[in-house]
Structures are given as C-alpha cells and as structure tokens.
A = this chain, B = another copy of it.
C-alpha cells in the first residue's frame, strides 16, 4: 500500500502537468486579434518578462548566499541546502510558466469578447487555470521527487524532515515575488489613477496616461505571478510541515487509545493534495462559458465539481488507506471552512451587501468619512472568519478526542481546506487576465466593440479575487497552527524528549515573562513589515505621479491624444523601485526569528511565532477586506448610484480605493507569506538554536 502510494503522488502531479500543457496549447491556438491589440499585448509581455528576469536575478544572490549558509550550518548534510535551492527554483519556474500563459490569454480574451462573448470566459478561465494547476503539480512533483531522492521509506521515515529546506526555499522566493510584484503593481496603479482619474479626468487605461502599460504589467507581475507565488509557498509549507508532523503519528499512543497510522501518516498530506490536483482538473473541465449563463454560475460549477469529487475521495482515503473515519470528518470540516470563509468575504466586499453600500454612502460626506467607514468595516470583517477558524480548530481537535491525536485532527482539517487550492487559484488568476483584456481593448481602440462583455468578466474577476483572499487567509491561519505543532515535534526529535514532555514543558507556559516578551515582539513584526511595504508603494507611486505629470507638461499634444506617451519610463521606474522595496522587508523577516531563536531560545521563539501569526492574520484580513470594499464602493458609485461618475461621491470613493489598493494587493498578501516563512525558517534553524543558542533563560 505505502510503496504504491509514494509513486502515486508524482503520477497525479504529472497528470496535472500534462493537462497544463493541453490547456496552454488550447489557449495559444485562439485568435490574438488585430495588429494593434497584439502590439499592446507585446508591450505587456515584454514589461512583465523583463521584470521577472530582473527580479529573479536579485533573488538569486539571496538564494546562493543562504544556500551556502545552510550548507555550512548542516554540513555534511547537503539535503537541506539542496532542497532549499529546489524550492526556490520550483517557485520561480511555476510562476514563470503561469504568467507567460496569462500574458497570452489576455489579448485572446479581448478578441473573443469582440467576437464570441461566451468564449471569452472560457479563455480567461483556462489561461488562469494553467497557473493554478502548475502550482499544484510543482508542489507535488518537487516534494515527492525530493522525498524519493532523500530515501524516505517506511523503514526510514525520519528523512522526511529534511524537506523543510524545500519549504524554506519556496517561501523565500515567494516572499520576494509577492513583495516585488505587489509594490510594482500598486505603485503603478495608484500613480496612474491619481494623475489620470483624479487630476486630469481621463478614463482608466486611457492610452494618453504614461503609466498605463506599467499598470497592465503590474496586473500580471503582482496579481497573477505574486498570488501564484503565495499559493505555491503555502502549498509547499503545508505539505512539508504536515508530513514531518506525521512522523509523530506513525506509532500507537496507548494513553490516548490511538492506534497509529504507520507510514501512511507521512504520506497522508501528499495523498490529499493529489486528490486536489485531480479534482482541480475535473473542475476546470466543468467550467465553460456559454454566453448565456452568468460567469459566476459557471465558475461555481467548477468549484462544486472539485468539492464533490474531493468529498468522495476523502471518504475512500479515510476508510481504506487511513482506516480512521474521524479523519473524513476533519477533512470535510476543512472543506466546509473554505466555503464559509469565502461567503463571509463576499458579504464584506460584495456590491450587493450592506458594507459596500454604506461605504459608498459615506463617500457622499467626503473622502474622510468614506475612509473611516471602510476602515470600520475592514476591522469588523476580521472578526467572524477568525472566530470561525478558531472554532474549526477546536472542533477538529475534539473529533479526534483531544490530546495529542487532536493535533492530527487539526492537521487533517487544514489539509481539507488547502486541498481546494488548485481550483480556487484557477478562479483567481482569471481576474488579472480579464482585467488586462479590458485594458488592451481600451488601449487598442476596440473598447466600444467589446462593450459590456468585458465589464461582466471584470466584475466576476473581482468576486473570485475576493474569494481567493478570504480563502488563502483561512488557509494561512490553519497552516500556521499546524506548522507550530510541527515545530514542537521537531524539538522533541532533536532533543530526544518524548512529545508529551515537550508539549507540556514548563518553559512553554503562557505566563512566562520571556514568552510574553516573545509574543510582544512577534506581534510588532507584521506592523514593521506592512510599514515598509506601504512606504515602498508610496514612494513608487510618488515617482510615477511625478513622471506622468512631467509627460503631460513637457510632451506637447499628449493630452489631445496626438502624440503617444513614453510608456517605458514608467515601466522602468516601477521595476527599479519594486526591486529596491522588496529587499528590506524580507531581510527583517528573516533576521528577526533568527535573533529571537538565538538570543531568547527555542521556547520563546514559539511564542514569537504565535505573536506574528495572530497579528499578521488579523491585519491581513483587515487589509484585504477594507481594500476590496473601497474598490467595490467606487465601482458601485461608477455604476450610477449616489450621483455616479464625476460626482463628489465618486471623487471621494476614488481616494478610498487608492488607499485600499496597496493594503489589499501589496502589504496584505505579503503578510501571508511572511507568517509561514518565519515558521518554516524557525523549523529549519531549530538545531542551530538548540545547540548554539545563548541559552540565557534555560
């Protein structure tokens, strides 16, 4: 059984990858439209690829440096450094593939929207699905390849803990990619909007705006590649952490009446993810635009197909592989949690619910009250999802009867929620493609022909984007609880202490002043990190604003549309500033946990990680939802409510949107990655802290 399954998981990965190839071929076969459309799309492709190239070059220094450090620390063990490099490369390769399909699907979506509106949805969705499936496939392939290479077998399961290197590498590369992409896209977007919409009063994506190409490139490098990186790393960290944690559940624990899962405990995460990969392929096949149906109904069909397949497969997995039906309930609970958290986000950011409408109404009293109202709803929106996730945690713990086996229940629920990753990501990457498609139509003068069909797609894209964010925050929160427990199991392994003794160790109590210090310091990290990201966006936007203003001032005939704007200058500014802006937050993100572990020890570091996670998750939800709500409040006004475009309410709501943009697309998503990066980094470096730390308090 076990030997069979370790070869089954790469097969599921290869199956998904083959399907990616089929999808990509299908997308490329579609009509790319007029020469002008292809020219605009070419600008976007060039800008996006140039950015990725320069970004990867910057990341390479860190990868090489840290790989050397890991090699030195763990010498003669080469596997962690090797896994680290593999994780980083896999992350970069996955987002490169995904983004390159996306930058080709955009113009084809525009063309379909002109000629066959029903097909536009299918193209955009399948373009996005390549990103979703590539990520799941690379997660599975990378980790099972390393597991086989490191000789992880039923008689030698311990080597699975060497996989942390892969998780660390994936996290680091992804944090860079999300930060760089996020700063780029929001610097360009805010800059373009501030001069274009607010000062000069020209529409979005107007070719006279010098920052418009940079803005469209940003959709790809930020929303598409950045989010892809985010999901790649959370997928890897989740798999790696749960596999390592599985080591503790191979053998029976008589004191809890727990029978032990054998080697299946280690393979369990890979199996659930394989189910997710196959489910995502089925889901993608189920989505087909007909031109008559609401796009969201089509997308929902895809989600449901994946969901139903997953529940059936979970049943089989729990009954015949794990021989523990309690796991089925935990997995299904996690799946349900994905649904509920998506619904809550839809309430707080959807145009048809109270929050967005109230925020829009507040805009009639000016930008100040609009922003206060959005902040208030943003704060509020963090409450329910988090209380709900907390309850799911306790429920999964209780389903397994509490105690140590309860931790495995929480891990199973986490695998249940993260299992939907492939199909959710497909829906998400659809958003920037639809966004780009609209921009290309505007830029190449076919906006009229495309008409409302692009708007319909864009609105659907906004909903899927909001769903993904709520979903990935819930995943991150659940995952970080599991990673914490993995951290404990690793302490037990490295120190040779029984697990119970580690869990109930005196230095681990809540009220220990050293731990309180750890929580306090940890809780400041997301603030420091967000501050630096926002500073970077603000600085970039400031320079873009300056440049766009300069071009309007110095290029005669630009405002009248007689002379083209110089797009490359803005692309350059955004690229340079984004790369500069991504360095320091990452460095702090790495240095702080290292210093904590080294100075205050492994126990206080666990407290620190709890502080980071608790504040990070709440802050990120606030950022996502207030940002999304401001955005949709603006759209609500633009749709003709409360005075419509050009009214005072509109001007106020544009300012709210500008404030929300860097929160929801730069600082917020990077926080996810930061949380998990610090956890996986701590697990990786644990032997160092235990052996060479200062041990001031032990």
Contact = CB atoms under 8 A, between A and B. Distances in A.
A552 interface: no
Given A198-B366, A481-B513, A524-B386, A538 B508 contact: no
Interface string A498-525: 0000011110111111111101110110
Interface stretch (A284-292, A376-384, A439-447, A559-567): A376-384
Interface string A369-411: 1011101111110110011011101100100001000110010
A623 to B, nearest CB: 10
Contacts of A25: none
Given A372-B537, A513-B407, A380 B523 contact: no
Contact of A614 (B376, B484, B614): B614
Interface stretch (A91-99, A167-175, A527-535): A527-535
B511 A503 contact: yes
A391 B527 CA distance: 18
A379 to B, nearest CB: 4
Interface stretch (A132-140, A222-230, A655-663): A655-663
A636 B615 CA distance: 33
A607 interface: yes
Oligomer: number of copies: 2
B505 A488 contact: no
A61 interface: no
A418 B558 CA distance: 63
Contacts of A516: 390, 393, 481, 484, 610
Contact of A372 (B387, B622, B659): B659
B371 A524 contact: no
B379 A528 contact: yes
A113 B382 CA distance: 49
Contacts of A506: 504
Given A509-B510, A510-B510, A365 B542 contact: yes
A678 to B, nearest CB: 15
B376 A531 contact: yes
A54 to B, nearest CB: 25
A186 B648 CA distance: 23
A415 to B, nearest CB: 16
A531 B190 contact: no
A504 B515 CA distance: 13
Nearest to A529: B379
Given A523-B386, A523-B615, A368 B697 contact: no
A589 to B, nearest CB: 13
Contacts of A534: 372-373, 375-376, 379
A368 B504 CA distance: 49
Contacts of A369: 190, 194, 538, 541-542, 545, 658
Nearest to A385: B524
A513 B622 CA distance: 24
A392 B546 CA distance: 45
Contacts of A697: 402
Nearest to A409: B513
Nearest to A657: B368
Contact of A538 (B362, B391, B485, B504): B362
Interface string A635-664: 000000000000000000001001100110
Contacts of A212: none
A611 interface: yes
A582 interface: no
Contacts of A373: 534-535, 538
A618 interface: yes
A470 interface: no
A391 B389 CA distance: 32
Counting chain A residues whose Cβ lies within 8 A of the other chain, the interface size class is 35 or more
B519 A662 contact: no
A85 interface: no
B513 A504 contact: no
A527 B368 contact: no
A123 interface: no
Contact of A376 (B513, B524, B530): B530
Contact of A511 (B368, B389, B394, B485): B485
A606 interface: yes
A367 interface: yes
B368 A618 contact: no
Nearest to A516: B481
Interface string A399-443: 000100011001000000000000000000000000000000000
Contacts of A488: 511
Contacts of A611: 614
Contact of A655 (B367, B397, B481, B531): B367
Contacts of A610: 510, 516, 519
A426 to B, nearest CB: 30
A146 B611 CA distance: 39
Contacts of A659: 368, 371-372, 375
B520 A515 contact: no
B513 A365 contact: no
B513 A410 contact: yes
A211 to B, nearest CB: 13
Contacts of A481: 513, 516
Given A528-B379, A537-B372, A618-B615, A365 B508 contact: no
A658 B367 CA distance: 9
Contacts of A524: 382-383, 386-387, 618
A80 B422 CA distance: 58
Given A372-B538, A542-B362, A615-B614, A517 B393 contact: yes
Contacts of A520: 386-387, 389-390, 393, 477, 614
B484 A511 contact: yes
A387 B511 contact: no
A253 to B, nearest CB: 16
A517 to B, nearest CB: 4
18 contacts: A190-B369, A194-B366, A372-B537, A372-B658, A372-B662, A379-B534, A386-B520, A391-B517, A393-B520, A394-B513, A394-B514, A406-B513, A503-B511, A509-B510, A510-B515, A611-B614, A614-B615, A655-B655
